Amino acid sequence: MKGAGAVGDTILYADDEPRYLRLVKLFLEREGYEVLTAGDGRSALEALGRRPDTALVILDMMMPGMDGLGACRAIRSFSRVPILMLTALGDEPHEIRGIDTGADDYLAKPFSRDLLCARVRALLRRARAAAPDVLSGGGVTLDTGTREVAADGQPVALSFREFELLRHLMDNMDTVCPRERILDQVWGWNYEGDPRTLDTHVKSLRRKLGPAGGLVVTCRGVGYSFRRGIP
């Protein structure tokens, strides 16, 4: 049976131990979550870049190459997604390192299915409570739950990237968002395509917003900003 409130949530789990990957994936899928898996920190970052709608990230601390701490640090440079850190080292110094790096919670191996799922539910509840469901400014409203956008009361149809771009700008309303941070947040930390794609998406977003498109302001040489004032 699917867990209450779990339908539609995507969880990314990175661990170099195949047995844990299989077990945790099974545990969480039985609760109704969609589970993405990765074998190391770098693969986890790539997966998160492909799925920026991921609701929760679970990282094993000890992995080859980029470990959980490195992956956590990298994720925190562009995302506020909840992070649960796992480790076989159940001592306080490692817990402190994980929390200081940006993890939201910590769980020592071995753990029970019930404890893991309880921690996951708690982190998702906290994330939903902290994030506003609707962002609004200058006559533009963006519903993060339904992914609906309206300008001056009229619905606006946006592509996935346009929606994520507008959400990032409105989430940092009246603040200059550097180009690099926008690309990291919306396209993924490892995006290596043409950086001018951002300008193309901004142009399209402004056009679709109509008169309210003027709220998306170019900050020359730095990036873009969404200003809540009248365009």
What pLDDT, in 10s, does the model give residues 11-60?
Answer: 999 999 999 999 999 999 999 999 999 999 999 999 988 887 889 999 99
Q: Which CATH number fits domain 10-130: 3.40.50.2300, 3.40.50.1820, 3.30.230.10, 3.40.50.720?
A: 3.40.50.2300
Phi, psi for residue 218 in degrees, rounded to 5: -80, 125
DSSP state of 215: G
143-154 tens-digit pLDDT: 987 889 999 999
Q: What is the mean pLDDT of the chain?
A: 85
Task: Work out the pLDDT band at 166, boundaries 50, 70, 90.
Answer: very high
Whether 67 has a pLDDT exceeding 70, the answer reads: yes
Higher pLDDT, 181 or 114: 114
Mean pLDDT for 194-204 is 88
Phi, psi for residue 141 in degrees, rounded to 5: -125, 140
Q: Are 89 and 67 in contact (CB under 8 A)?
A: no
Is the pTM for the entire model greater than 0.75? no
Lowest-pLDDT choice from 77-81, 98-102, 106-110, 137-141: 98-102
Lowest-pLDDT choice from 22-31, 73-82, 160-169, 195-204: 73-82
Tokens 């900050």 map to which residue? Answer: 219
Q: Are 90 and 110 in contact (CB under 8 A)?
A: no
Give me the pLDDT at residue 5, please. Answer: 43
> What length does the chain have?
231
Q: Are 84 and 57 in contact (CB under 8 A)?
A: yes
Q: Are 89 and 60 in contact (CB under 8 A)?
A: no
Higher pLDDT, 167 or 102: 167
Question: What is the domain partition of the chain in residue ranges?
Answer: 10-130, 134-226
Task: Work out the pLDDT band at 155, boundaries 50, 70, 90.
Answer: very high
- 134-226 CATH: 1.10.10.10
Category of 109 on φ-ψ map: left (φ > 0), alpha (ψ -120 to 50) or beta: beta
Higher pLDDT, 130 or 37: 37
Helix intervals (H) in 33-150: 41-50, 68-76, 92-101, 113-130
